[in-house]
Amino acid sequence: MAQENAEEGSTQAASDDAIPEVEDDFYKLISLPIPEGVILEVGGLATLPDGSIAACTRRGEVWIISNPNVSGNIKPTYRRFAYGLHEPLGLAYKDGDIYVTQRSEITRLRDMNGDGEADAYDKVFSWPLSGNYHEYSYGPLFMPNGNMLVTLNLGWSNSLGHGVSLAPWRGWMLEITPDGQMTPVAAGLRSPSGFGFNEAGDVFYTENQGDWVGSGRISHIEKGDFLGNAESLRWTDLPDSPLNIKPQDIPDTGEPLYDVAKRVEALKPPAVWLPHGILGISTSGILNDNTNGKFGPFSNQFFVGDQGQSKIMRVALEKVKGQYQGVVFPFREGFSSGILRLIWGSDGAMFSGMTSRGWSSTGKELFGLQRLVWTGRTPFEMKTVRAMPDGFEIEFTLPVNRTVAADPSVYQITGFNYKYQAEYGSPVINNKKCTVRGVVVSEDGLKARLVVDGLREGYIHEITAEGVRGADGKPLLHHVGYYTLNQFPDGEKLAIAAPDHSNHAAMASSAKPAATKSAAAAKPAAGTMAKRVTKRPASWTKESDITINVGTKPGLKFDPSQIRVKAGSKVKVVFHNNDDMLHNFVLVLPGTAIEVGEMAMKLGLEGQEKNYIPQTDKLLYHTKLLQPGETDAIYFEAPDEPGDYTFVCTVPGHFYVMQGTFKVVQ
């Protein structure tokens, strides 16, 4: 055993100097060329029997893309199949026909004469609209019985600062028969952009942060479920509604949703939470891996796209005591635009349909279609995490260094939650570190069972395994996952003694002077102005030299985007967030907006609580983080040094594009 451990340590040390592996080593991104003049703002995708792809666009067109696999020197060809549709945001193929979901209806498109273009645009079923810009409609998703599922987005009220259901069934999932008969399925949806089946045939949908939604999440959805947003409940008295609760029945207490669900019977907790700003900001398409290993070692797991951060996450689910729960991991970043739709190609590669219109994205392109291909190499990852009666079991894709993986100190676990409230989003609440009491690694090195104290039902648990190494000494490609624990499973607990904490108090005490000194050193020098002053300074003889009103425009933009002031002048900025998401106003040194934004993103679970304001001298002044419809005013003195400073929203994902120029002149 000693020789084995020495060999393992030697292998680890030898590989520490190797070039770190990156996502691109395992999953390659290939951009499909798009003909000039084709604005492929993808709203929906479907793979056709001949391997070609159908794509609908937000501009109302449907395109058929032949040879999408981009093999050899043959480029894809594009043929317009249909046009004149009203912002279709979903598309499906069934028995030779293409179905799209427009704003107000499901439409069946048919090529009657075989010329490659749709001749018949037949309404299958329609629903009313109020005209609100936020009334998006998604689907259809075909069920095994031939019926279709659609989901209807809530509207948005800038004056109220929250979602509104202004027309029947807004905020609902509906089931529709081929002959146009409708049955309402479930309520409480806010922005249900993506939905699909798992391997068991159960339906899951993705939700975006907003009012009543503290963070992005994935929920199992069944008939009669209430998924959380109270606005849609105004229609529960309509015929065939499977629910009878009303908006006033939903308590707005700020407790975790899991706790409120104990008192509101229809309210269903999510299967998996996606921490906002860490694993995306606008959850979109969801896709189950049914490729039978063509896409790597993650069969029957979900892949979930994000529109704002142009990336994909990976979700592994399990069912415990009749409820779904599971873990989400980072998977692949670097897509060229905002991901809206995901499908499998005929060869088992993944296609991502993208658009940035309306919300912008970290990917700089306005739209795009990319193909994600597995290279055949297996990444060293946490493959999944399973709940145990006394902790978690981590399964890896490749064997670990058993000695290293058996050390409890290489794991850190923190439990946290979000407020269930009518207000937009939520900071992280009730966060508390858990103690890893012991670890048992399987003989094959593929599993590590962690005995953990302090786990809580209804909470998300950040599981970090940064210190784990593979049998070859390499680190994990992604070392963090987030497990939503809805139920503890039954079963045998491991007999592991509690750790000795007798020296911890002394160690903590000896560390305090250094921490205090560090905190003092971080304070601004005497006489400098605070970074957020919300009342006119007493030393100012008048309100200000200049008052600047700043608002927002669609597409993550400030209004105005350029401000001009004199060096050293007394400035009042009134920032009004008239958008439908959270924003702040942050003034930074020239050329540092992205750097400061990335610092804000690294705040992790504390980001929203800290208004996404990092501690750095490159950040000059800032407002608080504003709810939709909220206003904040700050006072400061313009820099003495002329130059082009930047004002930026440091919310994760926003800072890449939501910037303006603060020009200081003599």
Query: Is 473:15 a contact under the CB 8 Å cutoff?
Result: yes
What distance in Å separates the CA atoms of residue 449 and residue 539, rounded to the nearest whole number?
62
Report pLDDT for 105.
98
Amino acid at 257: L
What distance in Å separates the CA atoms of residue 152 and residue 125, rounded to the nearest whole number?
13
Strand ranges, E, within 263-366: 272-274, 283-288, 302-306, 311-320, 323-332, 339-344, 350-355
DSSP element (H, E) containing 438? strand 428-441
Which of 341, 374, 407 represents a domain boundary (last residue)? 374
In a domain, 243, yes or no: yes
What distance in Å separates the CA atoms of residue 126 and residue 601, rounded to the nearest whole number?
42
Report pLDDT for 607.
92
Query: Domain range spanning residue 641?
Result: 546-664
Nearest partner of 184 among 217, 223, 214, judged by Cα: 223
Query: Is 190:173 a contact under the CB 8 Å cutoff?
Result: no
Query: Is 666:568 a contact under the CB 8 Å cutoff?
Result: no
3-state SS assignment for residue 267:
strand
In a domain, 435, yes or no: no
The CATH number that applies at residue 190 is 2.120.10.30
Domain total for the chain?
2
Which of 374, 397, 414 represents a domain boundary (last residue)? 374
Spell out the residues 6+ positions from residue 19 whose beta carbon is closer than 8 angstroms to its own. none
In a domain, 454, yes or no: no
Spell out the residues 6+ positions from residue 222 whose beta carbon is closer than 8 angstroms to its own. 185, 186, 202, 203, 268
What distance in Å separates the CA atoms of residue 450 and residue 436, rounded to the nearest whole number?
7
* pTM exceeding 0.85: yes
Question: Which residues does the chain have with pLDDT short of 70?
Answer: 1-18, 71, 497-529
3-state SS assignment for residue 266:
coil
Spell out the residues 6+ positions from residue 519 whose beta carbon is closer than 8 angstroms to its own. none
In a domain, 57, yes or no: yes
DSSP element (H, E) containing 587? strand 586-588
Neighbours of 505 (CB within 10 A): 9
Which of 309, 339, 374 represents a domain boundary (last residue)? 374
What distance in Å separates the CA atoms of residue 470 and residue 406, rounded to the nearest whole number?
12
In a domain, 455, yes or no: no
β partners of residue 588? 619, 646
What distance in Å separates the CA atoms of residue 379 and residue 77, rounded to the nearest whole number?
34
What distance in Å separates the CA atoms of residue 342 and residue 44, rounded to the nearest whole number?
9
In a domain, 58, yes or no: yes
Q: Does the CA dihedral 374-376-382-387 come out positive or negative?
A: positive
The CATH number that applies at residue 605 is 2.60.40.420
DSSP element (H, E) containing 260? helix 257-261
Nearest partner of 583 among 648, 639, 504, judged by Cα: 648
In a domain, 15, yes or no: no
* Pairing between β-strand 562-566 and β-strand 659-665 as defined by DSSP bridges: parallel
In a domain, 434, yes or no: no
Structure tokens at 558: 């400030």
